Structure 1
Amino acid sequence: MDSILVEGGHELAGEIPIAGAKNACLTLMPATLLSDGPLTLTNAPRLSDIQTMTQLLQSLGTEVTQMQGGQVLSLSSHALTGTRADYDIVRKMRASILVLGPLLAREGRAEVSLPGGCAIGARPVDLHLSALEKLGAELDLRDGYVHATAPSGGLRGGIVDFPLVSVGATENVLMAATLARGTTEIRNAAREPEIVDLAECLRAMGARIEGEGTSTITVEGVEALSPATHRVVSDRIELGTYMLAPAICGGWVECIGGRMDLVAAFCEKLDAAGITIEETARGLKVSRHNGRVRAVDVATEPFPGFPTDLQAQMMALLCTADGVSRLEENIFENRFMHAPELMRMGARIDVQGGHATVTGVERLKGAPVMATDLRASVSLILAGLAAEGETIVNRVYHLDRGYERVEEKLGAVGARVSRVAGR
């Protein structure tokens, strides 16, 4: 199993290109199941999760062609061969559940294994299922699978009022509603940029959608969707991660393709910590040149609030802040597993349930640490950039699910980061 070796103490200077959004692309790819025409996605990230979704779609009969080194995906579901998403593939990634809505809408049936993914809490799929039931789906959970069927004549429009904001459930029902008879109103919908990106893609395919980016989305079902080409939105989590790199170890980085509107709440916290952020013609430039950052309090919230997927990386920054910071995790339980590993590097962190208190220290010290999930992996690499000596981050297979060529990107701006092949 590979590890990442980080030598701390080097300021950064240079450009980092921001890839297409993993979470957006993983949602856009299943949209091909809604049409028998081709869907072409550009600016696709080159990640292991994308390969997993590719395998899943191919198992259903979708033809997937990768071009331009994997940054362009051509998907065609003109001749589906099945509607069963097997456990052996689905267990690797929670986003696999997103084939459920499209299959049900187009084929009238689906069998989808309950998903796996990072160990950051229960994250049940009950909101997905109850939403599809509002469109008339009949569901049966047995043997670890969701067995779903649509009524005679297909899904029908309805009112879906989520008790909690759920990105994945919003995406699933949004795709299903495009082919449902009548009008669907999705209330308390997620507002994330990935939702907006999906709606724009579906609209390019001929869907009738209004209200994406707000808490109420209206979908008027159509008979069929058409071929389309769509550019995947920039990855706001990769963007925020690389914005933190110079904030943690000093210097500057220009994030090419970055947009302030994707990370506005995150930028507010960096500004409060004393980090300089400038909009440029090509993205966002982040710099830190003088002294320690200031302590700030952070509470994760659904978009447009502070993203849960940047909480671990933000904690790494606050480990060396001047003062005491408090972090509140409101999205997922069990998402402070990186804290004990940061403490191995000398951080002072006290975790009580969904709250963590971080008392900044002047310097972290390199140590062997273990990644527990995707965002924890990169948070430990960031911490290593600011630490004295060498940090070895073990179990980084999570990392390749969400960050493409992280060693190359950080290395190009002056970081000393290398991959150590596993035995």
Structure 2
Amino acid sequence: MRKIVINGGKSLKGHVAVSGAKNSVVALIPAIILADDIVTLDGVPAISDVDSLVEIIEIMGCQVKRSGETLEIDPRGVKNIPLPYGKINSLRASYYFYGSLLGRFAEATVGLPGGCDLGPRPIDLHLKAFEAMGAKVSYEGESMRLATDGQPLQGAHIYMDTVSVGATINTMIAATKAKGRTVIENAAREPEIIDVATLLNNMGAKIRGAGTDVISIEGVDSLHGTRHQVIPDRIEAGSYIAMAAAIGEGVHITNVLYEHLESFIAKLEEMGVRMTIDEDSVFVEKQEQLKAVSVKTSPYPGFATDLQQPITPLLLTAQGRGTIIDTIYEKRVNHVAEMARMGADITVTGGQIVYHAPNKLTGAPVKATDLRAGAALVTAGLMAEGTTEISNIEFILRGYSNIIEKLTALGADIKIIEE
């Protein structure tokens, strides 16, 4: 078993660069199997989700070369084989193989997706879209099979009953090589959707409207190779900004796109966090007295659900009482009990998180129950007096590239130990 051990109370100072977006790259890699030539990705984060996806596409017949943050993928030898449950269920984003395999082979057999336990996250919107394009769904053990009886997918008019990033991207990937025109209404608008659309368009797709609530895709017969720069990870950026505000004495965070973080930064400004925002960076000063605020998540461009846990330790440094309501994943509250174990005055009441601050945290053994809860516990451990041991760190390593090295460079006393 591996654990993260933090000796807290040491201020952070210096520079940290944000890596490429985890929520983009986990869709970009499956989308590449639609291409007929080599595709190169730059800015690929060093996270375990990427390692898992590379293993999967190599099993499928892709040739992969990796050098630092560059990933070169040759999908010309890819074969339509059932994707094994053991590999697939380690990450939620495995469902993007449904869209890419349907687009390339008009057939897909993929193990049911895994990932963090954030309550019900059904893929019914994905299936509804694939069925509208002519696919039929059946189940084979722990796998799902989608097939069109040998015919290419057909363009369709699809209305998303709820805003879903995963379903929007998956439908867009599948529709890229469908016959005719596909229109997605009530589409999600997240920057990661624009990133995937940019890659596909650079490969020869005809996608318009990404970043709005109506996306139009004209199907094409083939896609060529290209080179693509992954956008910066807005969730990683927000996590480091929150850490810097909580326990920093001047931290410069680079490779940040402000327009992807407007609602998050607005909430920090409401708290009184002092920052200097430049074109592609944020400098966070040492903070004095902060004001308690309430947070309510909503689809982009609202406050991101993935940032409500990372901001929680910062809220515990403020003065007053506040609430956190997650309208996307209402069960995203597992970090609360772990922070209470460290001395935080924080509870879950009536479906919302309620905190009273300021709090003095003390190091304790805690458990990361999901990716962003893990990030919150890292920040709490940095703030706390004494030693914090975090178990289940595989969740954290799924989404934060080189987190130990980055925090060590900022002055944190943090390491991974084997038990």
TM-score calculated relative to the size of structure 1? 0.96
Paired residues, what number? Answer: 419
Q: Given the alignment of the two structures, is residue 413 of structure 1 paired with residue 410 of structure 2, yes or no?
A: yes
Q: Given the alignment of the two structures, is residue 294 of structure 1 paired with residue 291 of structure 2, yes or no?
A: yes
Deviations 1:228-273 (A, max 9, x none): 1100000011100000112111322111101111111100111111
After superposition, where does 1:36-51 map in structure 2 within 5 Å?
36-51=36-51
Which residue identity does 1:415 align to in structure 2? Answer: A
Q: Equivalent residue of 2:33, what SS?
A: helix
Partner of 1:342: 339
Asked whether the 8 Å contact 1:178–1:208 carries over to 2, the reply is yes
CA distance in 1, matches of 2:70, 2:240: 23
The Cα of 1:277 is off from its aligned counterpart by: 2.3
Q: Equivalent residue of 2:334, what SS?
A: coil
Partner of 1:311: 308
The Cα of 1:111 is off from its aligned counterpart by: 0.5
Which residue identity does 2:42 align to in structure 1? Answer: T
Asked whether the 8 Å contact 1:368–1:392 carries over to 2, the reply is yes
Asked whether the 8 Å contact 2:112–2:144 carries over to 1, the reply is yes
Give the alignment partner of residue 140 of structure 1, picking from 117, 138, 141: 138
Asked whether the 8 Å contact 1:87–1:114 carries over to 2, the reply is yes
Asked whether the 8 Å contact 2:245–2:314 carries over to 1, the reply is yes
Asked whether the 8 Å contact 2:337–2:347 carries over to 1, the reply is no
The Cα of 1:18 is off from its aligned counterpart by: 0.4
CA distance in 1, matches of 2:103, 2:66: 26
Asked whether the 8 Å contact 1:61–1:82 carries over to 2, the reply is no
The Cα of 1:338 is off from its aligned counterpart by: 0.7
Stretch deviating more after TM superposition (111-120 or 361-370): 361-370
Partner of 1:267: 265
Which residue identity does 1:12 align to in structure 2? Answer: L
CA distance in 2, matches of 1:52, 1:63: 15
Structure 2 unaligned regions, length at least 5: none
Q: Equivalent residue of 1:313, what SS?
A: helix
Deviations 1:307-360 (A, max 9, x none): 111111111111222000100011113210110110011111120253111111
- Structure 1 residues 311, 281: CA separation in 2 closer, same or farther (over 3 Å shift)? closer
CA distance in 2, matches of 1:98, 1:250: 38
After superposition, where does 1:34-73 map in structure 2 within 5 Å?
34-67=34-67, 69=68, 71-73=69-71
Which residue identity does 2:132 align to in structure 1? Answer: K
The Cα of 1:181 is off from its aligned counterpart by: 0.8
Partner of 1:19: 19
CA distance in 2, matches of 1:236, 1:74: 24
Partner of 1:244: 242
Stretch deviating more after TM superposition (402-411 or 336-345): 402-411
Asked whether the 8 Å contact 1:136–1:156 carries over to 2, the reply is yes
Partner of 1:218: 216
Asked whether the 8 Å contact 2:361–2:380 carries over to 1, the reply is yes
CA distance in 1, matches of 2:300, 2:15: 27
Give the alignment partner of residue 200 of structure 1, picking from 188, 198, 201: 198
The Cα of 1:281 is off from its aligned counterpart by: 5.2
Give me the CA root mean square deviation: 1.3
CA distance in 2, matches of 1:384, 1:179: 48
Stretch deviating more after TM superposition (110-119 or 4-13): 4-13
Q: Equivalent residue of 1:380, what SS?
A: helix
CA distance in 2, matches of 1:22, 1:300: 20
Partner of 1:185: 183
Partner of 1:351: 348
Asked whether the 8 Å contact 1:259–1:284 carries over to 2, the reply is no
Give the alignment partner of residue 418 of structure 2, picking from 399, 415, 422: 422
Which residue identity does 1:215 align to in structure 2? Answer: D
CA distance in 2, matches of 1:282, 1:266: 16
Asked whether the 8 Å contact 2:80–2:101 carries over to 1, the reply is no
CA distance in 2, matches of 1:41, 1:303: 25
Deviations 1:71-126 (A, max 9, x none): 11111111222331110111101101101111111111110111111111121111
Asked whether the 8 Å contact 1:16–1:256 carries over to 2, the reply is yes
Structure 1 unaligned regions, length at least 5: none
CA distance in 2, matches of 1:90, 1:401: 14
Asked whether the 8 Å contact 1:56–1:96 carries over to 2, the reply is no
- Structure 1 residues 320, 289: CA separation in 2 closer, same or farther (over 3 Å shift)? closer
Deviations 1:45-75 (A, max 9, x none): 01111010111111211111112x2x11111
TM-score calculated relative to the size of structure 2? 0.97
Q: Given the alignment of the two structures, is residue 320 of structure 1 paired with residue 320 of structure 2, yes or no?
A: no
CA distance in 1, matches of 2:34, 2:392: 37
Give the alignment partner of residue 94 of structure 2, picking from 81, 85, 96: 96
- Structure 1 residues 281, 192: CA separation in 2 closer, same or farther (over 3 Å shift)? closer
Partner of 1:32: 32
Which residue identity does 2:108 align to in structure 1? Answer: A
Deviations 1:186-211 (A, max 9, x none): 01111111000000010000101111
Q: Equivalent residue of 1:241, what SS?
A: helix
